[in-house]
Structure 1
Amino acid sequence: MDNICTRILASAWRGVWAVDRDNRFIFFNKGMEDISGLKADDLMGKDLMLLLPDQKIMNEVHFRELFHKAKETLTQVHYSLLPIITTAGELKEQSGQLLPLLDEKGSYAGMVATVERLSTTKIGTTSGDHESAENKLDVIYRNSPVVAFLWKPLAGWPVVFVSENISRFGYQAEEFTSGKLLYSDIVYPEDLSGLNADVSDFEQERQIYFTKEYRIVTSLGEIRWVTERSMLARDEKGGPSYYQGIIIDITHIKEVESALKESEKKYRMIFENSPLGIFDFDKDGIVTHCNDKIAEILGIPKERIIGFNMNRSLKDEKMKTAFREVLSLRLGHFEGEYTAEGNGKKAFIKVDYSPNVSDDGTLLGGVGIVEDIGERKIAEEKLRKYTAELSKANKELESLDRMKNELLSNVSHELRTPLTSIKGYSDLLMEDTLGEMNYQQLKVVNTIIRNTERLRRLIDSLLYVSMAEAETIKYDFSKTDTNELIDNAVTDMAMPIAEKNIEVLRHVQEDLPQIEGDAEKITDMLTNILDNAIKFTPLGGKISIFAAKEEEKIHISIQDNGIGIPPELLPNLFQKFYQIDPSIRRKYGGTGLGLFICKKIVDAHKGKIWIESEQRKGTTVHILLPILQGDI
């Protein structure tokens, strides 16, 4: 330093000293010589930290913490009422600043300390000295969250002074200074013998500063952790004279430490027993930890995995690309066959990389999660083969289904040809065109016609189903009269209606609007519903047909007073080949296709069909068909 700077530093504050980056003194002004009783010439080049015990700084740990805080953060730190004992035996309390020095690159180059305020007290070993120290400590700690004390190194540690904030533990200062309580009375019994032994060893080793963590008991019986930091003053013979220092409640810190240990224990348990391979790596890509599972997956001992440099030694390009995503603070992913470095073992694995980032966004390293997907790959391959086989079988089934539909269609067409002839000749016989027949002959011909018609409906149903599955059904939409459709259906079923002496009642609204539909298929649909109604209605029963306009639709309903249907079976009635009970099929006949075909026809007309029924009372089938737009 030049002379001008030296003069400024020497006069700007009560005291100034400076050390270089190695904590060696490079400046110590006259004010500091007066304060400390030390000479600058004796200090130059000496280590500050080695000097601290000789200077008897009463809160050495506190000073070191302040010094390192300023050094690490490169920001000035203020200190207040820092007590030191000079070579002359005086207690001096300093307030000032610690100012870090920086070089051209902004790095730490040393420290300047200033003393701005100073107060001095003489300390001896008499009771008067104790009282003076007690008063001074009260000034130091009256606004501090820590509890200050001064006690004698006698049995039980009688307390000469304790700050009023001992009340944080439920006690009053007078309880101790009056002798009612000794300090040992509040030490947790299980910790007392250990604390006694440590204090005894400390005094025999002729040290100055005592630090210890132990438990105390509050006035309410609550156990609290404290840390004690105290200085032992010695008499002229070097024996212990008194302790002065502080205790700080660290219960919360201990609880946090305990929680962290428990959390770490759980993490370690998860880490070691995970079914997945887990490893940590630092910012350079060097593996720092791994569990047994990853060693098992890769077939490499843990000691060979730890220390592996992923950034330099990974050879698999896809794996390297996934890992290097972490270096860019992104997630990385690899899935596929991987050849382990070192032993050449091949394994199908999935790896997910995650970066570990500090609060300021700096990369600290990362974590890798490895899953052995070999069994999944085998299962996927088996599934792929099974799917291929299933697809092949499905194609064969589709081919067989087409063959079945074609056969059914051809057979249906072939059957309809002779049926047409049978029905035609039967009609000629019934009309006496080929000569008059007696009653018995007419009855036989009537049976032939009825069964021929029944067979025709069956063939038409099978043909419709085959065409529906082949998606070859064509509809001829045109203007259609609803009354006429109902009449045609009733006429088609006239013979079975007459045979069972069923009364058919019509409740059809006059002047019903026309619908746009396929008249033939709607008639087939109504005929199928009537056929079912006739089939399940007893002799002499009744069937009612209703038709009326409802908003933009025609509502047709066919109601019988037959055997009815259980409510839980209603949702299944429109399924193909569905019948309520085998015994019903044997008694009443049928293929289970009628209602399926009815729904197909209604759906093709953008209508709706549903059934309401009550057992032993009858069934009603409802149909809604859209009205022709011009007739609405």
Structure 2
Amino acid sequence: MKGLPDKLLNSLYKGIWAVDINNKFIYFNEGMEEITGLSRNKIIGKDLKYFMELAQLSVGDEGHFRELAVRVKDTLKPSRYHSLQFLTPEGKLSIQSGHIFPMINRDDKYSGIICTVESFSEQKIREKTFKDMLSSKKKLEDIYKNSPVVAFLCTAEKDWPIEFISDNISQFGYTPEDFTSGRLIFGDLIHPDDLDLVRMDVSKLEGEGKQFFSMEYRMLTKSSEIRWVVERSLLGFDEEKRPSYYQGIFIDITERKLAEEALLESEKKYRFIFENSPLGILNFDDNANISHCNDNIVKIMGIPKDRVIGMNMIRDIDDREMKEAVKAIFSRKSGHYEGKYRNPLSGKVTPIKADYSPNISDDGKLLGGVGIVEDITARIEAEEALKKYAEELAAANEELKTLDRMKDQFLSNVSHELKTPLTSIKGYTELISEESLGPLTDKQKEVETTVLRNAERLKRLVESLLFISRVQSGNVKYVFEPTSIAEIIDMTLLDLKIQIDQNKLNVKRRIPDNLPLINGDKDKLTDMITNIVDNSIKFTPEGGTLTCTVIEEEEYLHIILKDTGIGIPPDLIPMLFQRFYQIDATRTRKYGGTGLGLYICKEIVTAHKGKVWAKSEGENKGTEIHIQLPK
């Protein structure tokens, strides 16, 4: 500022001051002394914030001015301000307008700002008025901070660049800096479909010279959500009576707009429902007299509409429960009635359900009530028919339970009867096999092996049926003791060696030494492993591979029995462990089986507090059965 003649500056502006890059005052002319009542000596060298405190700049105006100063610093472009209010120490209210200019050094870098006051007005304020004003401003600031109303100041240029906007613009997703930085202007807030209409309305107002106006339009949030707002603004003019700035507020009225639209839609729907509803609908006033009804209520009550209108819902009704339901409305509660209603005017008896609701105005006055009445004759008849059907179904179910018990008893008896001769067949066949009764020819040995294999298979089937019978009756008993899983697997492979050799299967054993014992029932676990290995042998083509793996985990021994057999479609795996489940009839005919093996396995694993599941990548991709048994 050195070397710039005061006389020249004073001839250009009514007031001028400047701060350096650190916001310290370096210039304050006589015009500013006159406008603010503050001496140059008191200001030079002080911080800008100190000047604002002395000038009693209000919080809203202070924020506005600071935003403008930051914008000038960031953009290195001048900015205009309007109607900033200062309260001087002498009690003068000074309303100022002017420009803020950036100062740039030789390196084209920001070095401070120059602020001019181009116009101002002032008035003397008495001490009491001055104190009241400060108090009022404080109250207004507190109210404003908690208000949904957004305040703004923008210039009367194309689409209205914003110089100030209040912090609660955040309710629309924006920050004040989005606008005061120049990135957005007021026109960017307005919905594109409404922008031209707003422009036309504003141009009309400017042309007519009106100062105050109000309009409603749609606004876009930062996330492009549509909101309705109402704007109320003051148009300010410059000294030449040209539009200069807009100072106003807007508030979100989306809920009101939606409510208005919903009300119109609701009225249409209500009228349609009222006239076309299959239910009977009636309105009655605060004296309980019916004022409106639809045609269906006439059918239900069995009397003409002109006799329904005017009927009193309390005096003209004999049914005590119906009266109580209607009286509830006059206590501002809902009422409900269900029963066989006899109309006192027609004598018609109809099973009905009626719900009554109070009709309350916006100001809280009880206007009467609304009744929704339904003829439930068909429902009553259906309920009676359903009750009869339920009784018949219960009787049939009891008969089925009896047949189920007979079936289980039959299975148990037949299984026991089969087991005795099977034991003899198996025992004598083993004697023959051992040639205790004489030497055998090769052909006789082949036949004897077939008999022994099928006797063993039949024995497992009988034992499966017996197990199922005991499960159904709850008589399965387990004997838990320290048991070696490795030993059970080895014994199973040995017992099924004939079938394994006959199918020419390659058996891989991957069982670590020194596996810990588990607490289990050795016989039941042997049955379980036998069932799974037997399935693998049955469904694996000649020359396939059967792999037996045991992995020691933290809490379990994990057994994996994997084959290279025909596999299982993935969507059928969840049904594998159900009783009597088989994938399809074609497989049953080709491979045999009862569908009990995996069901029995699951029962045994569950009794041991373990887990069992199957995996298969699909048909002809083999199957894995996984078993986890607690250590």
TM bracket (short chain): 0.5 to 0.7
- CA offset at residue 556 of structure 1? 0.5
1:185-218, Cα deviation, whole Å (9 max, x unpaired): xxxxxxxxxxxxxxxxxxxxxxxxxxxxxxxxxx
Residues 225-240 of structure 1: pairs in structure 2 closer than 5 A: none
**Counterpart selection for 1:412 from 405, 415, 421:** 415
Give the whole-Å Cα distance in 2 for the aligned partners of 1:556 and 1:355.
69
Q: Specify whether residues 585 and 359 from structure 1 end up closer, same or farther in structure 2 by C-alpha distance, changes over 3 A only.
A: closer
| Cross-structure match for 2:483 | 480
Partner-residue secondary structure (3-state), 2:318: coil
Identity across matched positions, percent: 55
Q: Which moved more, 1:408-417 or 1:423-432?
A: 423-432
Retained in 1: the 8 A contact 2:283–2:370?
yes
1:289-332, Cα deviation, whole Å (9 max, x unpaired): 21111110111211111111222222111111111111111110
Letter in 2 for 1:416: K
Give the whole-Å Cα distance in 1 for the aligned partners of 2:268 and 2:501.
90
- CA offset at residue 359 of structure 1? 4.3
- CA offset at residue 396 of structure 1? 0.9
Letter in 1 for 2:340: E
Q: Specify whether residues 606 and 441 from structure 1 end up closer, same or farther in structure 2 by C-alpha distance, changes over 3 A only.
A: same
| Cross-structure match for 1:464 | 467
Residue 524 of structure 1 pairs with residue 527 of structure 2: yes
1:124-166, Cα deviation, whole Å (9 max, x unpaired): xxxxxxxxxxxxxxxxxxxxxxxxxxxxxxxxxxxxxxxxxxx
| Cross-structure match for 2:392 | 389
Partner-residue secondary structure (3-state), 2:479: coil
1:90-126, Cα deviation, whole Å (9 max, x unpaired): xxxxxxxxxxxxxxxxxxxxxxxxxxxxxxxxxxxxx
Give the whole-Å Cα distance in 1 for the aligned partners of 2:261 and 2:498.
95
**Counterpart selection for 1:538 from 509, 516, 541:** 541
Give the whole-Å Cα distance in 2 for the aligned partners of 1:264 and 1:589.
70
| Cross-structure match for 2:512 | 509
| Cross-structure match for 1:590 | 593
- CA offset at residue 170 of structure 1? 8.3
Give the whole-Å Cα distance in 1 for the aligned partners of 2:292 and 2:587.
75
- CA offset at residue 625 of structure 1? 1.0
- CA offset at residue 547 of structure 1? 0.7
Give the whole-Å Cα distance in 2 for the aligned partners of 1:452 and 1:459.
10
Give the whole-Å Cα distance in 2 for the aligned partners of 1:263 and 1:501.
79
Residue 428 of structure 1 pairs with residue 463 of structure 2: no
- CA offset at residue 349 of structure 1? 0.9
**Counterpart selection for 1:318 from 315, 318, 321:** 321
Q: Specify whether residues 306 and 257 from structure 1 end up closer, same or farther in structure 2 by C-alpha distance, changes over 3 A only.
A: farther
Give the whole-Å Cα distance in 2 for the aligned partners of 1:608 and 1:433.
45
Residues 249-398 of structure 1: pairs in structure 2 closer than 5 A: 267-398=270-401
- CA offset at residue 351 of structure 1? 0.6
Partner-residue secondary structure (3-state), 1:310: coil
Letter in 1 for 2:285: D
**Counterpart selection for 1:577 from 580, 602, 619:** 580
Partner-residue secondary structure (3-state), 1:313: coil
Letter in 2 for 1:485: I
| Cross-structure match for 2:110 | none
Give the whole-Å Cα distance in 2 for the aligned partners of 1:549 and 1:344.
83
1:490-549, Cα deviation, whole Å (9 max, x unpaired): 222122122223232211122212222222111111101110111122333321110121
- CA offset at residue 262 of structure 1? 8.9
Give the whole-Å Cα distance in 1 for the aligned partners of 2:265 and 2:515.
83
**Counterpart selection for 1:626 from 623, 627, 630:** 630
| Higher Rg of the two aligned structures | 1
| Cross-structure match for 1:47 | none
- CA offset at residue 265 of structure 1? 6.2
| Cross-structure match for 1:11 | none
Give the whole-Å Cα distance in 1 for the aligned partners of 2:347 and 2:517.
82
Give the whole-Å Cα distance in 1 for the aligned partners of 2:379 and 2:283.
26
Retained in 2: the 8 A contact 1:402–1:470?
no
Q: Specify whether residues 594 and 292 from structure 1 end up closer, same or farther in structure 2 by C-alpha distance, changes over 3 A only.
A: same
Q: Specify whether residues 258 and 620 from structure 1 end up closer, same or farther in structure 2 by C-alpha distance, changes over 3 A only.
A: closer
- CA offset at residue 373 of structure 1? 1.3
Give the whole-Å Cα distance in 1 for the aligned partners of 2:263 and 2:549.
81
- RMSD between aligned residues: 2.7
Give the whole-Å Cα distance in 2 for the aligned partners of 1:455 and 1:257.
81
- CA offset at residue 347 of structure 1? 1.1
Give the whole-Å Cα distance in 2 for the aligned partners of 1:483 and 1:258.
77
| Cross-structure match for 1:613 | 616
Give the structure-2-normalised TM-score: 0.56
Give the whole-Å Cα distance in 2 for the aligned partners of 1:550 and 1:372.
67
Give the whole-Å Cα distance in 2 for the aligned partners of 1:606 and 1:577.
23
- CA offset at residue 412 of structure 1? 0.6
Partner-residue secondary structure (3-state), 1:312: coil
- Equivalent pairs counted in the alignment come to 379
1:224-243, Cα deviation, whole Å (9 max, x unpaired): xxxxxxxxxxxxxxxxxxxx
Give the whole-Å Cα distance in 2 for the aligned partners of 1:608 and 1:282.
69
Retained in 1: the 8 A contact 2:336–2:356?
yes
Partner-residue secondary structure (3-state), 1:484: helix
Retained in 1: the 8 A contact 2:317–2:343?
no
Q: Specify whether residues 307 and 617 from structure 1 end up closer, same or farther in structure 2 by C-alpha distance, changes over 3 A only.
A: closer
Q: Specify whether residues 348 and 519 from structure 1 end up closer, same or farther in structure 2 by C-alpha distance, changes over 3 A only.
A: same
- CA offset at residue 461 of structure 1? 1.7
Q: Specify whether residues 296 and 609 from structure 1 end up closer, same or farther in structure 2 by C-alpha distance, changes over 3 A only.
A: same
Give the whole-Å Cα distance in 2 for the aligned partners of 1:263 and 1:579.
58
- CA offset at residue 264 of structure 1? 5.6
| Cross-structure match for 1:56 | none
- CA offset at residue 426 of structure 1? 1.5
Partner-residue secondary structure (3-state), 1:547: strand
Give the whole-Å Cα distance in 1 for the aligned partners of 2:333 and 2:260.
32
- CA offset at residue 440 of structure 1? 2.9
- CA offset at residue 258 of structure 1? 13
Retained in 2: the 8 A contact 1:330–1:354?
yes
Give the whole-Å Cα distance in 2 for the aligned partners of 1:561 and 1:261.
70
Gaps of 5+ in 2: 1-203, 211-258
Residue 450 of structure 1 pairs with residue 453 of structure 2: yes
| Cross-structure match for 1:233 | none
| Cross-structure match for 1:559 | 562
Retained in 2: the 8 A contact 1:547–1:555?
yes
Give the whole-Å Cα distance in 2 for the aligned partners of 1:319 and 1:347.
13
Q: Which moved more, 1:381-390 or 1:569-578?
A: 569-578
Give the whole-Å Cα distance in 2 for the aligned partners of 1:267 and 1:616.
64
Q: Specify whether residues 325 and 600 from structure 1 end up closer, same or farther in structure 2 by C-alpha distance, changes over 3 A only.
A: same
1:10-58, Cα deviation, whole Å (9 max, x unpaired): xxxxxxxxxxxxxxxxxxxxxxxxxxxxxxxxxxxxxxxxxxxxxxxxx
Retained in 1: the 8 A contact 2:359–2:366?
yes
Retained in 2: the 8 A contact 1:349–1:371?
yes
Give the whole-Å Cα distance in 1 for the aligned partners of 2:463 and 2:515.
29
- CA offset at residue 568 of structure 1? 3.2
